[in-house]
Amino acid sequence: MEYNKKLILEDGQEYYGYGFGANENKVCELVFNTSMAGYQEILSDPSYTYQAIVMSYPLIGNYGMAEDDYESENLTAGALIVHEYNDHPSNFRSAATLSDIMEKYKIPGIYGLDTRKLVRSIRDYGSRKVLITDASTTKEEGIEILKKTDIPKDAVSKVSCQHIWKSRVILSNNFVQGNAKESVSGGFTQEYKWHKKHIVAIDCGMKKNIVLSLNRLGLDVTIVPWNTSAKEIMDLRPDGVFISNGPGDPEDAEATIATVKELIGKFPIFGICLGHQIISLAYGAKTYKLKFGHRGGNHPVKNLETGKIEITSQNHSYAVDPESVKDTKLKITHMNILDNTVEGVSCEADKVFSVQYHPESAPGPQDSRYLFDKFLNMLS
């Protein structure tokens, strides 16, 4: 079968393959993810807005797409690049093929290329722009398109909710003596107390499982858009504030940074991923772009307070400058073992803490679920 799709990188590299998903040409930021499973959650994570994701695991699509496993209602990833695509999933939970869903959300895909070589190129030369296009497009044409096309900087505003909404703890007949039971995906039952506490979550591109993790903790959650003012949040009378993950450069989220500056010291605050970077910027620290980012479910992080190692799920392009933290009220609490990047900060006096990784672990290991309990303890 003749190749019908290709990738053209801004440095002139070309990769030929076969198309699946939407038949569209796109310019994206090229990144890779090393997870062995969880492509549905990865593709539906708003943090991948405007990015073309290279999956290092070779076989993708084999278990289809399940109704309960989406991390957002509107998929905004730029493109998906895989070695081998399976269009005949074997999974009783599958409701659609990966290609069908990508076509629905106008996400192009390409398979049949050497993803090992492509991942190594990203590792060696860094993330850069890529054009996914028809195989007939010449290298010169592609490079010209890449030169003229900028990656948009409106990613957070694109994926944040537009209106305030609520996600409450649902009490049923299983609610007995302060304990509720909930059947969650996977078939097990989880018990928790309803704490009558109310959290405001600032949505910068929040994953669904973060909201569910807060609900399962027994917390009612009001979700507000990324540019909600501090006064509007205070008027909601929360017991604590959460700042979510999200796409793009944290410095582009100026409205959220300004809001967090005003909220510091007034409520306990917890941030994840982009929320971690926003909290750091609000305290006066600086951020910088990593060469190729951290994306996968196997990143080792050391908790400097306990000495324990956590295996974590990560997805980000930016990191907090450790030297800049020294001039703030924050202290560094977690470090990445692979490259010594900052993975967590806190200010005990203000009841503020954040981590760069994803403790809701969807997909990924569950080593860091304790962080949600830490946030709950701050609310009492």
How many helices (H) does the chain have, and how many strands (E)?
11, 23
Closest by alpha carbon to 43, among 61, 59, 27, 24?
A: 61
**What whole-number distance in Å separates Cα of residue 365 and Cα of residue 103?**
30
Characterize the bridge pairing of strands 179-183 and 189-193.
antiparallel
Match 């997909």 to its residue by tokens. 363
Match 């609310």 to its residue by tokens. 379
Q: 3-class DSSP state for residue 157? A: helix
**358 catalytically annotated:** yes
Structure tokens at 93: 């939970």
**273 catalytically annotated:** yes
Q: Which of 83, 294, 316, 358 is catalytic?
A: 358
Alpha-carbon distances of 368 from 64, 131, 209, rounded to whole Å: 28, 36, 14
Sequence-distant (6+) residues with CB within 8 A of 57 are 34, 35, 36, 37
**161 catalytically annotated:** no
Structure tokens at 79: 């493109």
**What whole-number distance in Å separates Cα of residue 146 and Cα of residue 278?**
30
Cα of 79 vs its chain's centroid, Å: 16
Peptide bond preceding 363 in cis form (omega within 30 of 0): yes
Structure tokens at 54: 């290279």
**What whole-number distance in Å separates Cα of residue 249 and Cα of residue 110?**
27
Match 């929320």 to its residue by tokens. 275
Closest by alpha carbon to 139, among 12, 16, 15?
A: 12
- How large is the angle between the packed helices 254-263 and 274-282, nearest 10 degrees? 60
Closest by alpha carbon to 63, among 28, 36, 81?
A: 36
**What whole-number distance in Å separates Cα of residue 97 and Cα of residue 94?**
8
Closest by alpha carbon to 374, among 256, 283, 272?
A: 272
- First-to-last alpha carbon distance for the chain, in angstroms, is 63
Q: Which of 273, 299, 334, 343 is catalytic?
A: 273
Query: Which residues are catalytically annotated?
Result: 273, 358, 360
